[in-house]
Amino acid sequence: MDTSHSDILIIGAGMAGLSCAGALAKAGRAVRLLDKGRGPGGRMAARRAQIGGETVSFDHGAQYFTARDSSFRETVANWHKAGVVAPWPAAGDDAWVGVPGMNGPIRAMGLERDVRWGVRALSLKREGNLWHVDAGEEGFTANTVLVAVPAEQAAELLTEVAPDLAKVAASVESAPCWAVMAAFEERLGIEADGLREPEAKISWAARNSAKPERAGRETWVLHASPERSREIIDMPKEEAAEVLLADFFAQTGLAPTEPVHLVAHRWLYAMPASVKGEAARFDTALNLGIAGDYLHSPRVEGAYLSGRALAEAVIASEL
């Protein structure tokens, strides 16, 4: 097995991992990231599809984000200047989306760092002062390991080596979300580009094609509520897509229209149902830390701020 070493290894190159990596790099630290995804996005993913010779992209995870914290607002303003985010007033006065897909800022942040996409950390082991990360065909060693993955996945990775950190992650439960990506020949007879109905089966629906820089045919993303998602959690994808599209038509009163493209994706750990209310945690004895939306607040901004807080804790531990 090939093994390579880095000073700091971050598992998870979503918003939390990349924001942490950016702050550490700024402080002069050498950082490598591993991500099991084939490309940048995490829960801010964008998925492409070929429909009638046209390439269409769907934001099937996070739909938009807000920026309330002043440091995050500054970062978002820089992303805006760099052309990787744009305002999307349909979701609110302070709503932003990645461009040309939701993963725009993740892609941009990833390009500035040493990220290994398509590499899944399977387990961690500590020998002396060194961490060993088993990633199947490859192995990695590092002085410090930072775990920036959803709560349940963090708990699984950490149980053996850091029961206290694993306990923090295991105490958070994430809500699932079935997402449906649908394209239609004609524009649907709905005026609004975003429909929010927290109590309904389809708690969010968006005309994806109306987001900035998404020209092309009529596309929609539907998100089932956590309750509806749990009811049909083990349903085959194709069937779930049909059932949820029917829910959408029933809910909106639209006459059912045959889609030209219909795909569902199941997010098992979409959003933490509760958060720990602490920004991040770093164990200075083990040189091991955790970050993610489940620690700070359950959204893009929370993940960003958690990553930054973990970087600050790592830097502070060396002073």
Footprint of ligand FAD (CB under 6 A): 11-17, 34-37, 42-44, 61-65, 120-121, 148-150, 153, 177, 179, 223, 267, 270-271, 292-293, 298-300, 303
Contact present, 162 and 286 (Cβ < 8 Å) = yes
Direct distance between the N- and C-terminal alpha carbons of the chain, in angstroms, rounded to an integer: 36
Question: Which residues does 142 contact at the CB level (< 8 Å), separation at least 6?
Answer: 5, 6, 7, 8, 9, 32, 130, 131, 133
State in angstroms the smallest separation of the CB of 196 from ligand FAD. 10
Residue with smaller CB distance to ligand FAD, 56 or 109: 109
Closest distance between ligand FAD and the C-beta of residue 142, in Å?
Answer: 14
Closer Cβ to ligand FAD, 218 or 223, answer by number: 223
CB-nearest residue to ligand FAD: 14
From residue 20, how far is each of 10, 88, 218 by CA, in Å? Answer: 9, 26, 37
**Is 47 or 259 the residue whose CB approaches ligand FAD more closely?**
47
Torsion angle of the four alpha carbons 7, 137, 132, 127, in this order, in degrees rounded to the nearest 10: -140
Minimum distance between the CB of residue 319 and ligand FAD, rounded to whole angstroms? 26
Q: Contact, 131 vs 125, CB < 8 A?
A: yes
CB 292 within 8 A of CB 300: no
Nearer to ligand FAD, 243 or 303 (CB): 303
Q: What sign has the CA pseudo-torsion 16, 18, 22, 28?
A: positive
Taking the complex as a whole, how short is the minimal distance between the CB of residue 117 and ligand FAD, in angstroms? 9
Shortest CB 54 distance to ligand FAD, Å: 24
Instruction: Closer to ligand FAD by CB, 150 or 289: give it.
Output: 150
